[in-house]
Structure 1
């Protein structure tokens, strides 16, 4: 006899799922017992279901196989929700198995009952509740196939009384459909784009994660057009290294070279990107957009010429139609400005920066009066000492800014973050998922103190399951990005201060090896120690809360707002 729960676990294990994450509970006891009896699947019990959803989403993004998390009955299912929304917006195939009250009690407002179909209606591409063993394996197949087909979240709800029921004799095992094969854009669209590009004087490429599988084709395109290449943050992975056309990021985390490259062109070519910030798109440009998802075309900026198809396949047909451009002045201006900006940024990573120049001394007086560690120093140290194939995760906010600007993603490095949902608390659980996927690979979490404290209990999960993560904490005692947003709007900082404990001491109590770093001159050695130490490690680095991340195109209103805010803060502090 095979039960419903056993059939689910067996089918997923046969498919290649090696781990399931969640919190055990009554309605899912048959499923966790089936996992216990199946040597192919490891159960990882987290302290909060949200961490489970973040972890399996990270795994799905790294290896493409469906991630599986579990939450039992109402509260556990609700706790999954934020991590599942991140999976949805990151286009990660994830299956959430949710326990439900006994079937005879459904609809009676029973203890812990919630309506999962309503709860997950917006986040899931599939929601189904098992109401009879005879529905298996059909419902499981539909759930997994939908998650793959739409690169999203599927929710399978299992009432507490059905998991132990036997499936009908002779029921076939579940099988999952093969993945689809993307195709090139239609010939008419390619011909039109080629005509526009041939007539253009200055082309700039804005390239996103959707172009990663077409790296060589994108480089060939930039070379042919002598076009600077602005990368989205997610496109740093795979496209930043060995790229003479790259000029960094746009948006608030970006730099002036990228902003000017977009402003100075007459044709802006969006390649595999859904870059969401409309204010950072230039106006008055001819825009071409190439994306495999038709729904992405034109939803950020007006697009004159659309290419709907796979990036690599489309560019293989487009590139031979283009005559190489001989005038490289647009490209050289952008790359030269980018190199100059990077030189200025490098000066900030010197622990003695504030003693070596007049500008450094002035900055030290105004924005670092307590001589705390500049976050740039920490990010650069991680970049120097992290493994060439390290997986890096970043919390939303200032941690992402410093990673974007000071960590170079070579050919072997991977990057994860909540770059579409923008959730707090994502970096550490994503690092847990990545580390569990490959326990021999280095995984580094760029954690903000605010984000880390949200899911602090799951630091213990690293200890329990021997996950060798390196958690680097930018401990500035602030919700740093919110502070910056308030001040740029002319508001005094309020509600952003965090009364943190000694985070290193807390981590030590939780079983990690940990250090607290308060001196700029100690950062390099501390990072070296963290990466050389076996087991989970936390580095609590006390950084400067007043560090300002200047946007690529600072406006007069932002500068004036910042000045007003600082005056208000000074007056109120007296």
Structure 2
């Protein structure tokens, strides 16, 4: 470490922590970091993005997919500001990310200099660790603490580095620390476990709600559910925890969920929440006794009252409960839920088989299902496309899916780029709406530049369709939701990728089959029906009344109601 510049030490420490690539865009206030990064390019790659937001979203996606640290970098001022959306995405999905930002030189701080922004204040809300490097000697210890904090607190660490600091030599008085994070294994208190056992022994209609925190506990979750005869409902971040067509699975919950899941929650007398702090509490049962399992005690009881809080690792906790509990003999509630789920899948089959033009979005998901490999990585953007994928795509346990709990439009493409970098041997597919894809479509050339053969499926209805539906359910006439789109397939060709334009249902499968066999990044531009509303599995009276009001407004104000075709 001695005799090296702070910039060289920074890159060495990142390599020690196992970082092998960084997303970013070079610029003046980080050029003193770019030079040592260039010298270490055989050990750590710099992935040049076309927008810093895409870099931050890719870093967040990489962290969600792998559990490893995602790293992004930007210049002071505008570059750092562009990182914010992707960093908030990481914060809400509890993904370990390190953001390195430039800053004006130390002797210029406080002079209102060119591109000077108070970055510590700006990042204060998003970060679990947020420090400005004050000297070369301070840098090594602070870098280690930033990365350790990102892992330990499952969040964003930000290092702001004035442009002169990386050029200074790290002298003998520099504090030495370790590039090490010790991962704990946590088991709940014995009294809390026994309280959970007492609740479960009295349960007659138990339901499990599993979130992202249950992903690494799939088999214990299944064994526990079998023991207590409980169906499993999945949150959106928890999709893929168990296969969608597993006999215990009732699919998702909420506006994107299934009717069997909705009905099961309405009847449940006992709820077991595993690795989720589900915010849409209106879909949870009223009056049910509740057990909440989470490694973070602060999440337990955060949004919904609980009778037993189990602060511990999902795998260990579920294994313990499954060992201690007897096999439930009365399985009538589970059996009824399973019969309803079989009927639900038949309904989905009918929707997916429609041969209308414009193409129904559900038909696109069915065709996609036919070409996706068992261990594929799926990056799902935000909007109606989230509903169609959550409801219709039937995941296997080996597949991985990521989206955005922040619900930030544009996350699909950066997620696919990160997915292909993380798992170069796997099939990687982004599923986007036209609104989301257009936000960061410039970074399709990043996939081309780095020869990342991803497939981007764009559901193109020339609408911000979810907002259109929301306006109509409120009883309003849709406004400002039309989109003027380019031909996304031609855009792919111009960028150096491969584009497919699909306008008829029979063109879908051949286009997808060709795209997944290509060695270049591909875009499949599918024209879908903008009138296909993502109706909830259970329509409330207020939603029906609001939609009827919207139709009347269009009739009297516009003279042409757009009544969906049955």
Q: TM-score range by the shorter chain?
A: over 0.9
2:488 maps to which of 484, 490, 503: 503
Contact 1:148 1:179 in 2 (8 A): no
Structure 2 partner of 1:447: 432
> Does the 8 Å CA contact 2:224/2:319 hold for their aligned counterparts?
no
Runs of 5+ consecutive residues of structure 1 not aligned to the other structure: 355-370
Report the more deviating stretch, 50-59 or 297-306.
Answer: 297-306
Among candidates 542, 545, 549, match of residue 564 of structure 1: 549
Residue of structure 2 equivalent to 1:95:
98
Contact in 2 for aligned 1:7/1:173 (Cα 8 Å): no
Give the corresponding residue for 1:359. none
Name which of 275, 278, 286 aligns with 2:278. Answer: 275
Residue of structure 2 equivalent to 1:398: 384
Q: Is the CA contact 1:250–1:552 (under 8 Å) kept in the aligned structure 2? A: no
Instruction: Tell me if the contact between 2:128 and 2:157 (Cα under 8 Å) persists in the aligned partners.
Output: yes
Q: Write the mapping of 1:90-489 to structure 2, written as runs, cut at 5 A.
A: 90-169=93-172, 175-240=178-243, 243-352=246-355, 371-418=357-404, 420-489=405-474
CA distance in 2, matches of 1:527, 1:349: 16
Deviation, 1:571, is 4.1
Gaps of 5+ in 2: 560-566
Among 61, 64, 69, the alignment partner of 2:67 is 64
Deviations 1:412-449 (A, max 9, x none): 2100110x211111010111111122322211001111
User: What residue number does 1:516 align with?
Assistant: 501
Is the alpha carbon distance of 1:32 and 1:570 closer, same or farther for their aligned partners in structure 2, counting shifts above 3 Å? farther
Match of 1:491 among 470, 476, 487: 476
Q: CA deviation at 1:105?
A: 0.9
Q: 1:489 and 1:301 mapped to 2: Cα distance?
A: 27
Q: For 2:394 and 2:432, locate their aligned partners in 1 and report how far apart those are by CA, in whole Å.
A: 18
Q: How far is the alpha carbon of 1:76 from its aligned partner?
A: 0.5
- 1:20 aligned partner: 22
What's the offset of the Cα at 1:163?
Answer: 1.3
Alpha-carbon offset, residue 490 of structure 1: 0.9
1:134 counterpart SS class: coil
TM-score by length of 1: 0.94
Q: Give, in angstroms, the shift of residue 573 of structure 1.
A: 3.9
Is 1:75 aligned to 2:78, yes or no?
yes
The match for 2:564 is none
| Residue range with higher mean Cα deviation, 180-189 or 564-573 | 564-573
Q: Deviations over 1:519-567 (max 9, x none)?
A: 1221111111111111100000010001122212211110121122133
Q: Distance in 2 between matches of 1:478 and 1:571?
A: 23
Report the TM-score when normalising by structure 2.
Answer: 0.96
Query: How many pairs are equivalent?
Result: 556
Matched residue SS, 1:234: coil
The whole-number CA distance in structure 2 between the counterparts of 1:174 and 1:481 is 50
Cα deviation for residue 177 of structure 1 reads: 2.5
**1:504, distance to aligned residue in structure 2 (A):** 1.4
Equivalence for 1:547: 532
Alignment match, 1:84: 87
**Deviation (angstroms), 1:15:** 2.1
**Partner of 1:36 in structure 2?**
38
* Contact 1:474 1:541 (8 Å CA) reproduced: yes
CA distance in 1, matches of 2:164, 2:49: 24
174-183 vs 16-25, which moves further: 174-183
Comparing 462-471 and 175-184, the one that deviates more:
175-184
Residue aligned with 1:269, SS: strand
Give the ranges of 4+ consecutive aligned residues of structure 1 lying more than 4 Å apart after TM superposition.
Answer: 169-174
CA contact (8 A) 2:295 2:314 kept: yes
Aligned residue for 2:563?
none
Three-state SS of the structure 2 residue aligned to 1:110 is coil
Q: 1:308-331 deviations in whole A, cap 9, x for unaligned?
A: 111111122222221211111100
Whole-angstrom CA distance in 2 between matches of 1:225 and 1:137: 51
Q: CA shift at 1:568, angstroms?
A: 2.3
